Amino acid sequence: MKHRLIILILPLIALLLMGNTASAEASASVQDEGTVKNRPNDDLSQTDPNSPEYLKERMNYLGLKIPKAVQNSFKKLNKLHPPSVLLDDDSFDWRENGGVTPVKDQGWCGSCWDFAGTGAFESAVLIADGFVWDLSEQQVLSCNDDGAGCDGGWTASAYTVFAGYGAVEESCMPYQSDDTVPCTQEDCTPVAKLVDVINIPNNVNFIKNALLNGPLSTTYTVYNGFHYHCYYHDDTDPTNHAVVIVGWDDNLCNGGGWIVKNSWGSYWGDGGYFYIGYNSSGIGQYTQLPIYENTLLPELSFNTDSLTFNIEPGDTVVDNIEIGNVGDGEMYYRLEASNPSDQDEFGYYWRDTSTPDGPDYNWVDISSTGEELDFSGSPDNGNSGPLDLGFDFNFYGETYDSINVCTNGWASFTESNSTQSNNSPIPNAATPNTLLAPFFTDLTLYYGGDIYFYTNGADSAVISWVEVHDKIWDELYSFQIILIAPKTIIFQYDLMGLNALDSASIGIENADGSIGLQIAYNEPYTYGYEAVKFSLGSVVDWLTVDNPSGTVDPAGFLNLTVKCDAGEHPGGTYHGLLTLSTNDPYYLVTEIPVVMHIGGTSVDGQENTPDYFYLRQNQPNPFNPSTVINYGLPKAGEVRLDIYNIMGQRVETLVNTDQRPGLHSVVWNGSDYSNGIYFYKLRFRGKTITKRMTLLK
C-alpha cells in the first residue's frame, strides 16, 4: 500500500500589510543586486558592517511579519514527535555540495522575507539543474498580491509569485530596494517554476532531515548585540528576520549550530553567513522547504499502517515491514521502536478522569490540616522550601525526601530558588527541572488566595493552590498535587477560571529537562473537577528492528524484520510505536502503532475478558496518519464503531458486526482525510462511548 501525505500545499495567504517604502532616494552598488537606495544615514556608508551601529540601523529594516493563520498552523505542526537524525555526520554544508547561490543584500528595505524565499528557491533550482540562476527579488517585491513590501511580509508571498507566474532573472527586473517599482514580470521570461512548499516543524532533527533535500528558508529574532559567530539568546519575542539555513555543525557553539545565509551583503559576517546555536533566538521557527519542478525527491512507500502480535508468555514472533523508494532521489531511512506518544522515554504515562482506568476526582481539603505556606516576602513570585516530605519519593530514577513550591503553579524536588513565571514546553532544559507542573503560569497571591502543604509523614503529601489569581485576567484557580510513595503522582483540579487556561504548562520533567511528559502547553486542558494520574510503566523493551537504518535507491525496496519478544512480561495488552524517519519531505516521520497481546492476565491485573465495557483513548494521539483504537467487551454482542468529523458527519465505519468478548484493536488510517479533530463512537448492547482524537499531518 502506498501513502502520500502532504503537510502543506502552497498557501495563498492574504497578508493585508499596508505600509510605505524607506525614505532614502539615492543609489549605491550592492553585490549581485544592481542598484539599491543609499543608507538613510550617509555616515554609516563607511561603518564597519559588524559594528553595533551598523546592526542598529539594520534592525530598522527587519521586515518579517508572520500571519496569525501561519502561526496557528506551525503551532499544531510543532506538536509532532521528532524523528531520528538520518545522517550521522556531525556536519553538513550545502556550500561544500554545490547547493548555494551567492549572498545578496536586501538594502534598506524590510524585504528579508523576499530574500529568504528567493535564496532557498535558487538553491532548489541549482541542486536540481546544476545551474546558478540569479532570480529577481524585485519581481517578488513588485508583483506579489499580498501587500508585502519594504514594511514587511512573509516568505509565502515570494513562493506564491514563483508558483504562479514563475521566477524571472535579476537582469530583467533589477532589485531597487523599493516596493513602489511597477511590476513588469510580463516582459520577462520565467526560468523556474515552484510546485510546492513544505512546512517543517521547529525541531533540530526535523530540520536536519529536511536539509538533506536542500537549503531551507527559516526565521529567528535579531536582538541588540546580535553577532555572526555563535550568538545565543533565549527566545521570548516574536520572530523578526528571515534567512536561509544551508547546513549544520554539531561542533559549533558548545552544542551544535546552524550555518545560515543572510541577506545583508557579503561584507557582513563571515562572507555574508553567520553561525548560531540550535534553538538560539528562536532559530528554526517557520521553516519551509521549496520544491522545484525538477527536484529529485525520494518518495516513501510502505506496506502496513500497524502491527499486531498475538503471543504466548515467553515466546518470540517476527513480522516484516516493506519500505520502498518510488521517487527520483536517494532515500535515507531509520526505523526505531519507541514508547507510545502518551508515555515518555523513562516510562511515565498519564491517565485522567475521562479514561476508564483513570483516577476519580476527589478533592483533598487540607486548608485546616495543612501548613499555610508563607510567601510574604514575595507573594507574586515566591518559592517556599525545601519542605520535608517525611518519606522517600522516587522520581525519574532518583529519590527525594523534600519538595519546593512556587506560587506560579509548579513544584520541584530541587529548585529552591527559582520563581519562574514564564511557562515553557515540557521537557525543557531551562529551570525549573525535577518539575511537577499542575498549572505552570504567571499566578500571584498578591490579591488573595492561599497555598497549603500537608504530609502524613509516612507515605503521602498534598500541595494545594486555593483560589490563587492569574496575574493578567485576575481569575481564580484551585488545583493540587498529591504524592503517594513510592512513585504515584496525581494532579487534581477544582474550580478553574477560564481566561488563563491557554497560557499554562501541565506535565512532569526530569532533573536536566531532557525527558518529560507534557499534557498541555498553552492550550486549554481542563475546566475543573478532574484528576490526572502519572504512573510508571515498562518501556518498550519487547520490540526490536533488524537493519534499522540505511539508504534506499530510487525504485528500490527493503524488507525490515520486526521482532516481538514477550520475555517475562505478564499477560495483557502492550502498546508501542515504530517510528519511521526519512528524508521524503512529505514523510519526514511516520508512526506505525504496534500492539502486543500476551495470553493470560492483563497488565493491570484484569482478565483478558474484562468485567465492563470500555473504550480506550486512541494511540498515538495526535496521530499521522494511523492510530489504534482499543476497546473491551465483557460479553459477546453486536458492535459498531464509527468515525465522525467535527461537523458531526459520519466519515467511516470501522466495525459493524458481532464480536466475541475480550480485548479488541482496530486501526484507522486518516490518510484520505484533512487535519483536525475527529470523534470515534463505540456502540454495544445499548451503550455508547464517544472519544475525541486529533489527526495532525
Going along the chain from its start, the domains and CATH numbers come out as: 58-292 (3.90.70.10), 297-340+542-605 (2.60.40.10), 348-536 (no CATH), 609-697 (2.60.40.1930)
Task: Name the CA dihedral angle for 606, 608, 612, 617, rounded to a multiple of 10 degrees.
Answer: 90
pLDDT at 28 over 50: no
Rounded CA gap, 201 and 342, in Å?
A: 19
Res. 339 pLDDT band, cuts 50 70 90 = confident
In this predicted structure, which of 34-48, 334-348, 547-561, 590-604 has the lowest mean pLDDT? 34-48
Rounded CA gap, 496 and 467, in Å?
A: 9
- The whole-number average pLDDT for the span 234-254 is 93
Closest CA to 388 of 490, 456, 480, 482: 456
pLDDT at 370: 95
Question: Other CB atoms closer than 10 Å to residue 556's CB: what's the count?
Answer: 13
Q: What are phi and psi of 7, to 5 degrees?
A: -70, -40
Q: What is the pTM of this model?
A: 0.69
Catalytic one of 233, 241, 469, 569: 241
Strand ranges (DSSP E) for 407-449?
410-412, 435-440, 443-444
Structural Rg of the chain based on CA atoms: 28
Helices assigned H by DSSP within 130-283 = 137-143, 156-164, 204-211
Rounded CA gap, 559 and 149, in Å?
A: 51
pLDDT at 357: 64
pLDDT at 41: 39
Are the C-beta atoms of 560 and 320 separated by less than 8 Å? Answer: yes
pLDDT at 309 over 80: yes
| Strand pairing report for 273-277 and 229-231 | parallel
How far CA 684 is from CA of 641, 645, 655, 666, 692, in Å, comes to 9, 21, 11, 15, 18
Query: Which residues are CB-neighbours of 605 under 8 A, at least 6 positions away?
Result: none
pLDDT at 261 over 90: yes
Query: Which residues are CB-neighbours of 678 under 8 A, at least 6 positions away?
Result: 643, 644, 645, 646, 651, 670, 692, 693, 694, 695
- The whole-number average pLDDT for the span 488-515 is 92
pLDDT at 102: 97
Amino acid letter, 18: M
For residue 409, how many C-alpha atoms fall within 13 Å in the half-sphere facing its CB?
32
In this predicted structure, which of 81-95, 132-146, 388-402, 659-673 has the lowest mean pLDDT? 659-673
- The whole-number average pLDDT for the span 11-15 is 30
Rounded CA gap, 461 and 548, in Å?
A: 45
Res. 696 pLDDT band, cuts 50 70 90 = confident
- The whole-number average pLDDT for the span 258-277 is 96
Residue 241 among the catalytic residues: yes
One-letter-per-residue 3-state SS of 107-141: CCCCCHHHHHHHHHHHHHHHHHHCCCCCECHHHHH
The rounded percent of the chain whose pLDDT value lies above 90 is 62
pLDDT at 634: 84
The β-bridge partners of 633 are: 662
Query: Which residues are CB-neighbours of 686 under 8 A, at least 6 positions away?
Result: none
Q: To 5 degrees, how large is the angle CA 597–CA 601–CA 606?
A: 105
Res. 345 pLDDT band, cuts 50 70 90 = confident
Q: What is the pLDDT of residues 610-661, one digit of tens each?
A: 766 888 888 888 888 888 898 888 888 899 999 998 888 899 999 999 888 8
Task: Name the CA dihedral angle for 378, 380, 385, 388, rounded to a multiple of 10 degrees.
Answer: 130
Are the C-beta atoms of 281 and 219 separated by less than 8 Å? Answer: no
pLDDT at 95 over 80: yes
DSSP 559-590: EEEEEEE-TTPPSEEEEEEEEEEES-TT-SEE
Query: Which residues are CB-neighbours of 368 under 8 A, at least 6 positions away?
Result: none
- The whole-number average pLDDT for the span 154-173 is 97
User: Can you count the helices (H) and strands (E) in the chain?
Assistant: 6, 40
In this predicted structure, which of 186-200, 331-345, 422-436 has the lowest mean pLDDT? 331-345
Reading the block at residue 491, the C-alpha cell is 494532579
pLDDT at 247 over 70: yes
pLDDT at 157: 96
The rounded percent of the chain whose pLDDT value lies above 70 is 91
pLDDT at 691 over 90: no
The region, left, alpha or beta by phi > 0 then psi within -120 to 50, assigned to residue 516 is: beta
Catalytic one of 78, 202, 262, 404: 262
pLDDT at 35: 35
pLDDT at 292 over 50: yes
More confident residue, 534 or 600: 534
Rounded CA gap, 325 and 332, in Å?
A: 10
Res. 313 pLDDT band, cuts 50 70 90 = confident
Using CB atoms within 10 Å of the CB of residue 555, give its burial: 0 to 12 exposed, 13 to 18 middle, 19+ buried.
exposed
Task: Name the CA dihedral angle for 246, 250, 251, 253, rounded to a multiple of 10 degrees.
Answer: 80
More confident residue, 458 or 303: 458
Are the C-beta atoms of 558 and 331 separated by less than 8 Å? Answer: no
- The whole-number average pLDDT for the span 314-333 is 93
Contacts 24+ apart (CB under 8 A), 645-654: 645/673, 645/676, 645/678, 645/679, 646/676, 646/677, 646/678, 646/679, 651/678, 654/629, 654/680
* Reduced DSSP (H G I as helix, E B as strand, rest coil) percent helix, strand, coil of the chain, to 5: 10, 40, 50
Rounded CA gap, 663 and 661, in Å?
A: 7
What mean pLDDT value characterizes the chain?
A: 87
Rounded CA gap, 685 and 210, in Å?
A: 49
Report the residue count for the chain: 697
Helices 112-129 and 156-164, axial angle in degrees (round to 10)? 50
In this predicted structure, which of 145-149, 309-313, 324-328 has the lowest mean pLDDT? 309-313
- The whole-number average pLDDT for the span 243-252 is 97
Rounded CA gap, 456 and 88, in Å?
A: 51
pLDDT at 40: 39
pLDDT at 356: 59
pLDDT at 515 over 80: yes
Rounded CA gap, 675 and 695, in Å?
A: 5
pLDDT at 42: 39
Res. 608 pLDDT band, cuts 50 70 90 = low
- The whole-number average pLDDT for the span 379-398 is 95
Q: How far apart are the first and last CA of the chain?
A: 18
Res. 19 pLDDT band, cuts 50 70 90 = very low
How far CA 273 is from CA of 136, 169, 204, 288, in Å, comes to 20, 23, 19, 19
3-class state of residue 203 by DSSP: coil
Reading the block at residue 493, the C-alpha cell is 483540579
Rounded CA gap, 202 and 351, in Å?
A: 28
DSSP 605: S
3-class state of residue 75 by DSSP: helix
pLDDT at 46: 57
Residue 624 among the catalytic residues: no
Residue 112 among the catalytic residues: yes
Rounded CA gap, 76 and 340, in Å?
A: 19
Rounded CA gap, 680 and 615, in Å?
A: 10
More confident residue, 119 or 48: 119
Rounded CA gap, 140 and 168, in Å?
A: 10
Q: What are phi and psi of 117, to 5 degrees?
A: -65, -45
Rounded CA gap, 662 and 598, in Å?
A: 13
